[in-house]
Amino acid sequence: MLPDGLPTPDDDAPSETELEEGLQNNVSNFLRYILTDGAPPTLAEIDQGLSMINRAYAIDADLVEPSFGDLYFEDRLLAEIELNIPDDDVFEDDVADIIEELQKQDDPNREIPLRVMGDATGMVAINLKRDGYDNFGLVRPLLDWLFDHRKGLLQIDLDGFYDRDQRIIALL
């Protein structure tokens, strides 16, 4: 779901399958879902949503730091998830770094992610592990759930920004 008021990208943008292809061909295993509609969902909310899709999903939240957790499908560790909010050093550094990279781009579509970064209210950071990277189809329901329930954009390190089904801008 694109945040309200954002223009749609050019029609020649890649199709939904490019998201999967981009991830499989990318050297990066780090993704961020950048939210513009409030604080990130809790890990319990994400866990409940994924469990409704398939009971084999589970998030094992860190007992000491509840904004960290591991995403499993059955016994396969797919990813580490971290929830970031404004005023958190990680969040502020990520926003500043991404804005700096976007400002170097000569693509008119850069205004979409620049606006999202300026309006960011939180992030769901996803660090893919080997099983998640090799079996991205098992991670895709997490991204679909975020797109279905929250406004924002997906950012993939070393690749670019995506809405639900297309790349909006390539990043470096």
- Enumerate the domain spans of the chain: 28-170
pLDDT at residue 36, rounded to an integer: 96
Mean pLDDT, to the nearest integer, of 3-20? Answer: 47
pLDDT at residue 45, rounded to an integer: 97
Residues 74, 110: Cα–Cα separation, whole Å = 39
pLDDT at residue 19, rounded to an integer: 59
pLDDT tens digits, one per residue of 133-153? 999 999 999 999 999 999 999
Strand partners for 152: 35
> 89-117 burial string, b = 16+ CB within 10 Å, else e?
eebeebbeebeeebeebebebbebbbbbb
- pLDDT of residue 21 exceeding 70, the answer is no
Q: Which fold has domain 28-170?
A: TATA-Binding Protein (3.30.310)
User: Which residue type is seen at 38?
Assistant: G
pLDDT at residue 171, rounded to an integer: 66
- pLDDT of residue 154 exceeding 90, the answer is yes
